[in-house]
Amino acid sequence: MPHSPQEKKRVLARIRRIRGQCEALERALEEGADCALVLQQIAAIRGAVNGLMSEVMQAHIREEFGQAEVSAERRAQSVKELTGLVRSYLK
């Protein structure tokens, strides 16, 4: 999770944009919009979520692996956790 005020502000702004995109998609579906428009909106939402995931994952990697004093055991645990996160993200 981004911990600095700047990172937190950026992530929250991304989430608000994604919420707006989802609301626009909902309106398009309710209005019976053309399939191509709906698919384009879904792709835009997916891209936005991928960008959010990337930003949070980068912050997590910096936090977990940017500390030189971490023990080898803790580092191995962090690698295991990160591998699980990446695996679930790629599903």
Integer Cα distance of 91 and 87 in angstroms: 7
pLDDT digits (tens, 9 = 90+) for 18-66: 999 999 999 999 999 999 999 999 999 999 999 998 888 888 887 777 7
> What pLDDT is attached to residue 54?
86
Integer Cα distance of 44 and 40 in angstroms: 6
Most confident of 47-51, 67-71, 87-91: 47-51
Residues 34, 54 contacting (CB under 8 angstroms):
no
